[in-house]
Amino acid sequence: MRRTPGVRLSTSALPIDAMPRLRLFAVLLLALTVCACASVPKPPKSQIAFIDSRIFDEELTDALTAGLPEVTVETDASVTLGHIPERMDKWLYAVREADNPVVARPTQEPLVRSIGLVALLQAIATGTYEFLRESMTYYPARNYQATVLYDKPTGRVERVVFTAVASKTATPTPKP
């Protein structure tokens, strides 16, 4: 680099007293960026609206994985005992596959009926279960039982309640 007489080369275009303020600004900017990136996880919901979407699967997976004692899924008018959507059917099947009860019960009667209802069994039998076995999405349902609450006169499913069951532990083999 060639020097011209009488011209000083400066290492900084800023005045010396501005450097501490610039460093403080850079540190604050970095801290704000880090804080903005660190998101606070949302707590799992104990009440979920059923929508035929992977969003529903994620919300229900989060709630059941968190171990909530009870998770209620509210349904719309299109869900009936004779027409359970495949997405909901997969969740019910995961519960049943873990040998936990799936019960259909009218909302106005305290009587509990087994899943032996023909319409409900037909709906459960129509799902694609190979996908269920390969997917970990429905795995948390294994620790829950499900109660399908429906309107008796119309057969409309009003909600499905997943209730935690006591964990199944292996019985130790007795020593001779």
Domain definitions of the chain by residue range: 47-164
Q: What pLDDT was estimated at residue 127? A: 52
Instruction: Give CA–CA dist 99/96, Å, rounded.
Output: 5
Neighbours of 67 (CB within 10 A): 12
User: For 3, left (φ over 0), alpha (ψ -120 to 50), or beta?
Assistant: beta
**Tens of pLDDT along 157-172?**
999 999 999 875 544 4
Q: pTM to 2 decimals?
A: 0.56
**Tens of pLDDT along 68-77?**
999 999 998 8
**Tens of pLDDT along 105-130?**
898 754 444 444 555 555 555 554 44
Nearest CA among 50, 45, 44, 43 for reference residue 160: 50
Across 30-34, 46-50, 108-112, which has the greatest mean pLDDT? Answer: 46-50
